Amino acid sequence: MVKEESVRDPDSETVVYESISFQPVVLPSPQNPVLSLELVNERALQYDMHLASERYIQRYRPRYGYLAVSAAGMGLGLYLANSPAIDADRLSGRERAMLNLAALSIGTAGYMAMKPTGDARPAGERRLLQKTGIDIFLDTIPAPLPGNAEAKLSIVRGEDSLVSKRNVSFSDNTISMHLGQKTGIRRLPGTDTTGMSILLEYQNVRYEKYLSLPDFMQEYVEVTSSSVPVRTSPATLNNNIIRHVGSESRFPFLSDVDDRWYRILRSEGPAYIRKNESEKIWQMADTARIGDLIVMPDQLVFGDLAIERNLPDNQRANPDAIAIAIINGDYRPPVRYLPHASRTGQLVEYYLNQVMGYYADNIRVFENMTAREMENFLDDADSLMIGGRYLSMDESDLFFYYYGHAFSGPGDQMYLIPVDYDPGDVSEKIISFESLVDVLKRLRSRQTVLVLDTDWSRASVFGRSTNNDMRQRPAGSEHLEDVLTDLPPGVAAFWSAQPGQRSEAYGGNNGRRGYPYDIFTWYFFSALQDGLRSSGDIEEYLERNVPFTSRRLHDRAQNPGFAGSRDVILVPDPQIPTESGDRNDENNELNDQDIQDYQGTQESPDIGNTANNSAEQDS
């Protein structure tokens, strides 16, 4: 069989040119700000083209109908040529021979008229015939690299050099980088228009690319005030409010309506928000873990989750209560960045105000504290005023919440990690956990609740995997309990994981959809949402849910801890009067003005009541 198309002659291969270059594998996008480049060897090869003759093998079988007819014809011919019954003796020898030959030919023709069965099988034999032309073929293969090969990365933004000739290693001929992690940029003002230039060099190979901000960052509208209404239309009406959202809530930006309104995107569709209560920002997506190329989806807006809006109805205020929250999440490599820190701080403040009855002026949230700031806070805690009150008031309830990294050091000493912690710095900017406990002892509040959503694992701090199947309690657990049980009476202390375990996020590697919180934080506030008030009830709730969820999502042990009194009341019961919970000196009840003042401090993402809507309309 001669093939009609031309084929290459492999023996005629000639290299026209070849070059080594970086080829993009993944280009950045606002949802996935990852750049992946592969070092490849690109060659142009020339081949002579020929017609090809190929040999095939075909099976056949007889055609049984033809065979029967030919056999009958052959028999009849032989009978006529040789039978005396028809005076064959009168035939000459030449005539008889011709008749016998004709009969045999009929029989042979019937047998040879066979039918092919099945497909022809190539025998693997090919012969090239005449030349028909030439063909140029582009061949791209991974470039050969030594095992320790490194390239030089430089990133410039405007006049600022963000990365200067930093060594980056290859992985299977590929270099991948998350732009946020490499540059430290996670958000920019909405008025910023400066992109970045990327230069990657390996020996004499260069890759240069300029990225504008929309190439790798998403434009959002961020709320700058408390209890801001999101509306169905760009007008200030009483009946077009979808919900109220808290400060730092973030929505994808769609367009500018006019000089007063932004058009934004919610999960249900477009909505509108006033410009004087918000601002445009550029935000970069974060990866699930350092080194992963799987980018987490954009977080839901605060108030979209059930835990952020379906709160129990609690009308009892606690005006003398004071709350402090330290929320550290904006760590720099190699320390693991905590993407849910800001939202966690918002949830803590929201529950303190809406469920636990703390006045908004009495809640202080410190985000991304450096070592110096944390040291100053501990040194000046006795003189720190919140809402016009000093912390060290015997009649005040104190709530302290810490979210961030920590680890245990030599001698099982516990340390909190500020956001400027540098493991390469000999001074090691770390804060002794015992010093925090000493401050809480000095404050002498009426009752104290200490909540620590952290673990004490260096593997967690630096993003390394670890096997947390703890069958025995390490010495660090006993030391931690000794420190916390040394607090004065009326103290309840919760912590999210035992030393050696990791405080896991509510989301796993098995495809399950998670939530933008850690497991411990989720269930701590779920307990309050379910109406639990005492520290003992909350401790039992955490013990039932946190270990099971960690096993289900991460196949790791996470055992929350508790120390102190089980009788501390976190949420005041509106049916039980208290001496310090109300401010009317005459009859120990809230007067109308107190209730109005208290309601004015609320920051709720739910649809506001008619009075609040009317007050906003009047303003």
**Amino acid occupying residue 333:** P
For residues 543-559, average pLDDT? 90
Whether the predicted pLDDT of 567 surpasses 80: yes
pLDDT of residue 18: 85
For residues 457 and 441, give the distance between their C-alpha atoms in angstroms, rounded to a whole number: 26
The tens digit of pLDDT for each residue in 441-458 reads 777 788 889 999 988 777
pLDDT of residue 89: 65
pLDDT of residue 184: 84
Torsion of CA 300, 303, 304, 306, to 10 degrees: 120
The tens digit of pLDDT for each residue in 150-189 reads 999 999 999 999 999 999 999 888 998 888 888 888 889 9
pLDDT of residue 79: 79
Q: Which of 263, 343, 252 is nearest to 302 (CA)?
A: 343
Whether the predicted pLDDT of 619 surpasses 60: no
Strand-pairing partners, residue 135, are 47
Q: Where are the domains of the chain?
A: 2-52+128-216, 63-113, 313-564
429 to 91, 464, 506, 513: CA distances (angstroms):
126, 21, 29, 36
Sheet holding 160-169, edge to edge: 160-169, 150-157, 196-202, 205-211
Backbone angles phi, psi at 316, to 5 degrees: -95, 120
**pTM for this predicted structure:** 0.50
- The SS3 of residue 553 is helix
Sequence-ordered alpha helix ranges (H) in 426-565? 433-443, 458-461, 475-485, 519-529, 535-554
Strand-pairing partners, residue 465, are none
* Contact present, 574 and 490 (Cβ < 8 Å): no
Whether the predicted pLDDT of 55 surpasses 80: yes
Burial class (CB in 10 A: 0-12, 13-18, 19+), 308: buried
* Contact present, 323 and 358 (Cβ < 8 Å): yes
Six-digit token pair at 179? 């732009």
CATH code at 313-564: 3.40.50.1460
The tens digit of pLDDT for each residue in 326-341 reads 999 888 878 888 888 8
For residues 200 and 35, give the distance between their C-alpha atoms in angstroms, rounded to a whole number: 11
Report residue 301's pLDDT band, with 50, 70 and 90 as the boundaries.
low
Q: Which of 491, 488, 478 is nearest to 561 (CA)?
A: 478
CA geometry: angle at 291 spanning 289 and 292, to 5°? 65
Sheet holding 561-564, edge to edge: 363-367, 322-327, 397-403, 447-453, 491-495, 561-564
Strand-pairing partners, residue 401, are 325, 451
The continuous run of DSSP H or E covering 71 comes out as helix 64-82
